Structure 1
């Protein structure tokens, strides 16, 4: 995968913490930041999926009544 340079300004305490955490994890600061972002994306993505599933579960009957679909999403005949 091609790499893109990203310049970020942080305060000295944050920079020091990033260096220390990266060293303790046995990786470069660059790799450490990449892992943080990837982990964050994964968690946010899963949070979205969980919230969407919860929403659909809560409003399943409302959608079925409004749109006439059974649990498998097939259209029911209009009564």
Structure 2
């Protein structure tokens, strides 16, 4: 994978903490920061899925009325012949 250089400025306390945590994990500061960003991106994705599931649950009756679904995974009503 190609690498891109990213320069950031942080206060000395944050820099020290990043160095210490990376050292404690036996990795470079660069790798430590990469993993933090990947974890954060994964959590955002997970949060999005949870929010979407909550939305669907809140509006389940509206979708059932509009599309006629009364069982999970079962289609009928509008568009029944399309698959």
TM-score band w.r.t. shorter chain: 0.7 to 0.9
Structure 2 CA distance for partners of 1:69 and 1:4, relative to 1, 3 Å: farther
TM alignment of 1:1-79, pairs within 5 A: 1-65=1-65, 67-70=66-69, 71-72=72-73, 74-77=75-78
CA RMSD of aligned residues (A): 1.5
Greater alpha carbon shift after TM alignment, 41-50 vs 68-77: 68-77
Gaps of 5+ in 1: none
Distance 2:5 2:62 in 1: 48
> How far apart are 1:75 and its partner, in Å?
4.9
Larger helix proportion, structure 1 or 2?
1
Distance 2:37 2:18 in 1: 13
> How far apart are 1:10 and its partner, in Å?
0.4
Gaps of 5+ in 2: 79-83
For these two proteins, the number of residue pairs brought into alignment is 76
Report the TM-score when normalising by structure 1. Answer: 0.86
